[in-house]
Amino acid sequence: MNLVLFHSSFWAATAMIAAVVLSSTAGEVFTAAAMKSIGDLDAIRARSGLKGAILAVLTSPLFFTGVFFMAVAFFALLFTLNHMNLGLAGPATASLTVVANALAAMLFLKENVDRRRWIAAALICVGVYFLAH
Amino acid sequence: MVLSLVAVCAPLGNACLSKGMTSLPALSVTHPLALIMAVFTPWVALGIVLLIGFFASYLTALSWADLSYVMLATAWGNVVVELLSRFALHEAVSSERWLGVLLIAAGVGYVTPGASRTITPTAAAGKSEVPQ
């Protein structure tokens, strides 16, 4: 593979950002599903102590699935930052992740993403875009 | 407090990772070991410590709030970084960036007074989903 072409390609940048956003969203959805099934960590800690709270998290298969995808997202981000500026990669991944998470939370976690949250997501996306310029 | 830790640790951790990774020579997908060794450089390691703090507080927040709420309510971390750049590091902040700060602040300010968790029929009936 010609590394120079790969580095300068628009599609390569798009693929890198998409890999970060999709793996990050998958990780966050699985982790959120795990924490929803475990319940309020503060309540568990009050009842069973810190050890009980840690045990409740570490015995959840959904949590480890989430961690796996977060690890994929982490190394994808490291790779992306090595080839792109933070000024482009940071806002692009951050703003797209906000929208992807809201969509995934509504579809897979059945969260009530109401008009208030969509308006806030839109404001934050545009805000992050302006921060990059 | 928990949402504040989520908001501050994530952008600072990412900034440390960026500083660490951009100071390294270009890495290739054909040499994955070099990518793993990058984890042990000082800035990347500091970034990882901050991201561990982020993750612990993030898990706690997700245990009592919706993912779509936590993601939006913690976006003000970007604003914190911008304010630190301007007032602590005395960097120039353009009018476009101030507009970004205002939009994010408006978005966070708009979403945080809303419900933090979707009420399911099970939760509404008062049944605990916490394993005993």
Segments in chain A forming alpha helices (H): 3-8, 10-38, 41-58, 61-83, 86-108, 115-131
| Structural domain that includes position B20 | 2-124
Selected for mutation to probe chain A from B58, B66, B67 (highest A CB count within 10 Å) is B67
Low-confidence residues of chain A: pLDDT under 70: 1-8, 87, 132-133
Task: Name the residue among A26, A23, A12 with its Cα closest to residue A83.
Answer: A12
| CB neighbour class for A20 (10 Å; exposed up to 12, middle 13-18, buried from 19) | buried
Tell me the two tokens of residue A98: 């906000």
Complex confidence, ipTM: 0.77
**Cβ under 8 Å to A: B residues 64-103:** 64, 66-69, 71-72, 75, 78, 82, 94, 96-97, 99-103
Print pLDDT tens along chain B (132 aa).
Answer: 777 888 788 878 877 887 788 787 777 777 778 778 888 889 889 989 998 888 888 888 888 888 888 888 888 887 877 777 677 667 777 888 889 889 988 988 888 888 788 776 655 554 444 433
pLDDT of residue B130: 40
* CB-closest option in A44, A90, A123 to B14: A90
B59 close contact with A: CB closer than 8 A: yes
Q: Per the CB < 8 Å rule, is B71 touching A28?
A: yes
> What is the residue extent of each domain of chain A?
3-131
Euclidean distance between CA atoms A107 and B60, whole angstroms: 23
